[in-house]
Amino acid sequence: MKEPIQVTRSSMPAYEEYIEEIRDLWDSHWLTNMGSKHNRLRDDLIRYLKVPNLMLFANGHLALESAISAFKLTGEVITTPFTFASTTHAIVRNGLTPVFCDIDPETYTIDADKIEALITERTSAIIPVHLYGNICEVDKIQKIAEKYKLKVIYDAAHAFGTTLNGIGVGNFGDAAMFSFHATKVFHTIEGGAITFSKEELAHKLYGLMNFGIRNQIVVNEIGSNAKMNEFQAAMGLCNLKHIEEEIQKRKRIYERYYDRLSGRKGIRLMKLTEGTKTNYGYFPVVFEEKELGYNREQVYEALARENIYARKYFYPLTSDFECYRERFDSSLTPVARYIAERVLTLPLYADLEPELVDRICSLALNP
């Protein structure tokens, strides 16, 4: 049996490089709670992402929950249902009501033209997702937010290192959350960050991330524990050294898929928002049965028979999750539903062999 090919595979620095990076932890015995590697990674990421402020977290989800909490939002939040569980859960776990906006049929990000109609007197924020390394229509979203005095928090879990017309994606909105999970273009095993425009937010976020502890006797925030530890930060320091090579390798795979699958009737490929420089994080393909005579499930099965595991990111829509039964109506977001029922994200990682890309494409075209 051949080794299974999964949708992604974590990139690793050389073993020796990581060992070298963690060696001094055996001298210092300082393993977590804002250690020196944590601080070094934070400063390096501020430079790499070209953002004014950044705070590291134990994972992307806790970062997003903390960002939402930091803005003291109330009532309703406009968001997308075509995303990973985390986005919607983070809103609900903050006691807020998600109001689902449909997505753009070509970029798969929130349809900015449909946001305004969903605003009520209870709306306090918009939480869009820079999905698959594509960037939302940030200017339109900002204008709406300013008109109605709403906060904008981007879920940028997929968007590490992407830019829009040369501007780092972490600069848009009031805050943005990045995931550094093992499956991401840049990872710290588990990990995440919040980037934000107003420096004052740092104090609040710090409290939320570290039990609200200000000093040994003052605890003034009902915070959580969401600190990044030194082993995570060490992995990040190593991976950051190789990030350009990682993105270039992914680009080659992405372009190979693109060459082989573009221009085919019934096969829809994601359109990047104008001005977007992506990180080649995901390769989503929408299979339209009417034109093709076969569907997404058949492609999924054909690949699985050859031990290749594409994923249905993101099906079902979060609004259709069992835990939200009877609470939302996904027929109100028909484009998101259409895409979710037909999308497959194909295997994509730095060292995926080109011959495998060719094999996957031929199965996608003839399952």
Instruction: Please report whether residue 157 would count as binding ligand T4K according to CB under 6 A.
Output: yes
H/E stretch holding 89 reads: helix 85-93
Q: Of 249, 237, 244, give the one whose Cα is nearest residue 18.
A: 237
Q: What are phi and psi of 259, to 5 degrees?
A: -60, -45
Instruction: Please report whether residue 22 would count as binding ligand T4K according to CB under 6 A.
Output: no
Instruction: Please report whether residue 295 would count as binding ligand T4K according to CB under 6 A.
Output: no
Q: What is the largest CA-CA distance in the chain?
A: 68
Instruction: Please report whether residue 186 would count as binding ligand T4K according to CB under 6 A.
Output: no
| In contact, 182 and 157? CB cutoff 8 Å | no
| In contact, 71 and 174? CB cutoff 8 Å | yes
Which member of 32, 142, 171, 183 binds ligand T4K (CB under 6 A)?
183
Which member of 53, 59, 94, 210 binds ligand T4K (CB under 6 A)?
59
Two tokens at 49? 């992402």
Instruction: Please report whether residue 69 would count as binding ligand T4K according to CB under 6 A.
Output: no
Instruction: Please report whether residue 60 would count as binding ligand T4K according to CB under 6 A.
Output: yes
Instruction: Spell out the residues 6+ positions from residue 208 whose beta carbon is closer than 8 angstroms to its own.
Output: 66, 69, 70, 221, 223, 224, 226
Which member of 86, 123, 124, 273 binds ligand T4K (CB under 6 A)?
86
Instruction: Please report whether residue 227 would count as binding ligand T4K according to CB under 6 A.
Output: no
Instruction: Please report whether residue 298 would count as binding ligand T4K according to CB under 6 A.
Output: no
Instruction: Please report whether residue 7 would count as binding ligand T4K according to CB under 6 A.
Output: yes
Closer of 99 and 159 to ligand T4K (Cβ): 159
Closer of 4 and 95 to ligand T4K (Cβ): 4
Which member of 66, 79, 80, 87 binds ligand T4K (CB under 6 A)?
87
Helix (H), strand (E) counts: the chain: 13, 13
| In contact, 243 and 48? CB cutoff 8 Å | yes
3-state class (DSSP) for residue 115 = coil
The runs of H, that is alpha helices, within the chain are 15-22, 25-28, 36-49, 60-70, 85-93, 138-148, 201-209, 230-241, 243-261, 289-292, 296-305, 334-340, 354-365
Which member of 37, 38, 42, 61 binds ligand T4K (CB under 6 A)?
61
Cβ-closest residue to ligand T4K?
60
Closer of 235 and 302 to ligand T4K (Cβ): 235
Closer of 210 and 232 to ligand T4K (Cβ): 232
Two tokens at 219? 């605890």
Two tokens at 317? 């829509």
Question: Can you tell me which residue has the tokens 């499930």?
Answer: 297
3-state class (DSSP) for residue 353 = coil
Instruction: Please report whether residue 356 would count as binding ligand T4K according to CB under 6 A.
Output: no
Instruction: Give the whole-angstrom CA distance, residue 82 versus residue 100.
Output: 9
Instruction: Please report whether residue 171 would count as binding ligand T4K according to CB under 6 A.
Output: no
Tell whether the torsion through CA atoms of 76, 82, 83 and 89 is positive or negative.
Answer: positive
Instruction: Please report whether residue 179 would count as binding ligand T4K according to CB under 6 A.
Output: yes
Count of alpha carbons within 13 angstroms of residue 267, beta-carbon side: 21
Instruction: Please report whether residue 13 would count as binding ligand T4K according to CB under 6 A.
Output: no
Which member of 81, 98, 173, 192 binds ligand T4K (CB under 6 A)?
192
Which parts of 299-328 interact with ligand T4K (CB under 6 A)?
313
Instruction: Please report whether residue 224 would count as binding ligand T4K according to CB under 6 A.
Output: no
State the nearest-atom distance from the C-beta of 64 to ligand T4K, in Å: 6
Instruction: Please report whether residue 83 would count as binding ligand T4K according to CB under 6 A.
Output: yes
- Which residues here bind ligand T4K, judged by CB under 6 A? 6-10, 59-61, 83-84, 86-87, 129, 155, 157-158, 179, 181-183, 192, 313
